A and B are shown apart, each in its own frame.
Chain A
């Protein structure tokens, strides 16, 4: 008999309540046998980009892996979120011909961007361009900020394609709030610890715990594939957001690392089987692409000097 599982998504899912989303999604995230899946969204009121991207990625992965043997989605009663999910193509992404009537109007740009699903190299520039176009419809950003966003979006999306080791790709979502932009990119691949452990230099640090793995992966010059990458993408993004006064959230496995005005490193009792990179960008402060490069240059030079010393004493240095 086919097992039946139910998940209930209710209330608002913001970046700060992402842990609750993981708990609520857990039966679907951990699905490994074909099951009847019922999703109750009747009391859902809000989904931020991280929640939207993660929920979409979870249900798409289950669908593409042939793990959904029937079931139903009870759509939100609140009209606002129902319209919003339609506008973000949530139902269309999950079902080729959704039963739910589409109440949204698509008469032109409105600054909202459908969830971006990407699987291949050729998708990379399109995802960055689509996110930038949606942001520019909603907010005025200067040329420097545009270059900065284009650069770090390309780097983070590329990380999924190169390091997640998943055939299901990743999902990106964005939302412009009054004072901030939130961009989320999520994959349900092998996670940072397993990926980093592929490089023998960092295998011990990667296996210690998820926080150490994430912090190590965020350090310039650290990569799981040194023959192919420099390991500068995430570090560049962190430095860029630090100059902006924004925040970078990296969650993988049970680890959560937040870099911003207040740093957080913690292990949770819920697991994300994959990686979430989310950026909160202040719209009232510049995104200084040139200064981010200068900061990266200084960090890389400093680490190179440390590495010269370490080479004599042996072993890889632990990330701060």
Chain B
């Protein structure tokens, strides 16, 4: 049996408000590098109070599309950030 590699990322280290597409693109690239074939990236939204449309698109949309939902786990989403995540996923091609 293969152990799942879990990479834990505390998004709160980027500030309480996640905004700015360029910043999000850099974060997406870093997150993508941390995804292994049998691994999961755990995105920890503790301390995140708000997210901008462009940041949400990069993380909930493009990043998840790129690596596959099976490689991403999201924790500690506030009610409205969960709403944003669902909305972006509904609009995503995969």
- Number of residues on chain A facing chain B (CB within 8 A): 30
12 contacts between A and B (CB under 8 A): A128-B19, A147-B49, A150-B52, A151-B17, A154-B54, A162-B21, A229-B21, A236-B53, A294-B80, A294-B83, A304-B90, A304-B91
A119 CB to nearest B CB, Å: 13
Q: Is the CB of B20 within 8 A of A154?
A: yes
Contact segment of A55-63, A274-282, A295-303? A295-303
Q: Is the CB of B20 within 8 A of A158?
A: yes
Chain B residues with CB under 8 Å of A232's CB are: 53-54, 57
A49 to B50, CA, bound (A): 27
B22 CB to nearest A CB, Å: 4
Q: Is the CB of B52 within 8 A of A151?
A: yes
Q: Is A273 an interface residue (CB 8 A)?
A: no
Interface centre among B21, B61, B87 (most CB of A within 10 A): B21
Q: Is the CB of B19 within 8 A of A150?
A: yes
Residues of A within 8 A of B (CB): 121-122, 124-125, 128, 143, 147-148, 150-151, 154-155, 158, 162, 221, 228-230, 232-233, 236, 289-290, 293-294, 296-297, 300-301, 304
Q: Is the CB of A151 within 8 A of B21?
A: no
Chain A residues with CB under 8 Å of B52's CB are: 150-151, 154-155, 233
Chain A residues with CB under 8 Å of B57's CB are: 229-230, 232
Q: Is the CB of A230 within 8 A of B91?
A: yes
Chain B residues with CB under 8 Å of A300's CB are: 87, 90-91
Q: Mark B45-57, 1 if CB is under 8 A from A, else 0.
A: 0000111111001
Q: Is the CB of A124 within 8 A of B20?
A: yes
Of B20, B51, B84, B91, which is within 8 A of A125 by CB?
B20
Q: Is the CB of A233 within 8 A of B54?
A: yes
